[in-house]
Amino acid sequence: MDRVGTIFNIQRFSVQDGPGIRTLVFLKGCPLTCLWCCNPESRGVKPDVLFRKMKCLGCDRCVGNCPKGAIRSVEGGRVIDREKCDLCMECVRKCYAGALETAGEEKSVTEIVEEVLKDWQFYGNSGGGVTLSGGEPLMQPEFAADILRECKRNGIHTAIETCGYARWEDYEKLLGWLDLVLFDLKQMDSKMHRKVTGVPNERILENLEKLVRAGKQVIVRLPLIPGINSHREHIEKVGRFCQELSIAQAHLLPYHKLGVQKYEALGIAYPLEELGAVSDEELEEFRRILEGYGITVTIYNHS
């Protein structure tokens, strides 16, 4: 059976999400609600409607053609009543300006693998491959497993980026087809983790340990958010934990605001509007701390 799932993007020629040149497949759905999330359109498994105010011509075709009356005209743009909207996407089809767009579409495993295979030569030359990201790939575990399996059958290196908050039995569905795990560690304190992501971290840390014991190569990824986890105490805790598990690589991901416009497009207030950036001096300090625990550190700065 050619399984079908929901994705919201396929990005080619990535060099920051695993070794070599990679194709990223972004699966929809995430169990976390991180305050700094740069892909808020990924949270629900179903498609969403985005409204790009700067593209709107004010023609009101969307208002007149919505069968649920879920769109109304207001000063400065249009407002979508997300409770009324049934995601029929009629408004998207009627919007000639492209101000309304769909975030998320159904794709079969075959369609995705065909897209991934377009860059097969680049993977071989660079040691690259495919990375499933999101959202959280484990929100669609069977779909993710089928993609990884077909990629491995075609000789492609496979990776996932995961928040760690999933059932272990769902991870087990992927293990036979998985070369690398990019594992996000957002906050070592469970109470604070719940406050900033919506869930505690006990299951996350347990899954990380199990992945290491299963013999998987794991790289921890640390999103660095000022006032939340970008301080010495937290980095020390991460270093000790990784050392205990013999995890040898870490990626530092400094906070950025590249996803802010997506919140506006979804009609959601961005919760960290006033937050500043992590300084270069802090990044180098965190690098030195982790290297002191025998961890090789790569910094990916989007600023």
β-strands 4-14, 22-27 pairing? antiparallel
**How does pLDDT run across 236-263, given as a tens digit for each residue?**
999 999 999 999 999 999 999 988 999 9
**Which residues have CB under 8 Å from 281's CB, separation 6+?**
none
In angstroms, the CA 156 to CA 25 distance is 14
**Burial bucket for residue 68 (CB in 10 Å: 0-12, 13-18, 19+):** middle
Pair 276, 226: CB distance under 8 Å: yes
Of 173, 232, 231, 169, the residue nearest 206 (C-alpha): 169
β-strands 100-103, 105-108 pairing? unpaired
Helical segments of the chain, H only? 61-65, 90-94, 109-117, 120-126, 141-153, 168-175, 190-197, 202-213, 232-244, 260-266, 280-291
Of 35, 6, 3, 221, the residue nearest 108 (C-alpha): 3
Pair 181, 216: CB distance under 8 Å: yes
pTM over 0.85: yes
**How does pLDDT run across 224-237, given as a tens digit for each residue?**
999 999 999 999 99
- Locate the domains of the chain by residue range: 4-43+105-299, 48-103
Enter the CATH code of domain 4-43+105-299: 3.20.20.70
- Report CA 188 to chain centroid distance, whole Å: 20
- pLDDT given for residue 1 in this prediction: 75
- pLDDT given for residue 231 in this prediction: 95
Pair 144, 160: CB distance under 8 Å: yes
* Positions in the chain short of pLDDT 70: 302-303
**What is the third-level CATH fold of 48-103?**
Alpha-Beta Plaits (3.30.70)
- pLDDT given for residue 302 in this prediction: 66
- pLDDT given for residue 12 in this prediction: 97
For residue 43, give Cα distances in angstroms to 22, 134, 174, 263: 23, 9, 21, 12
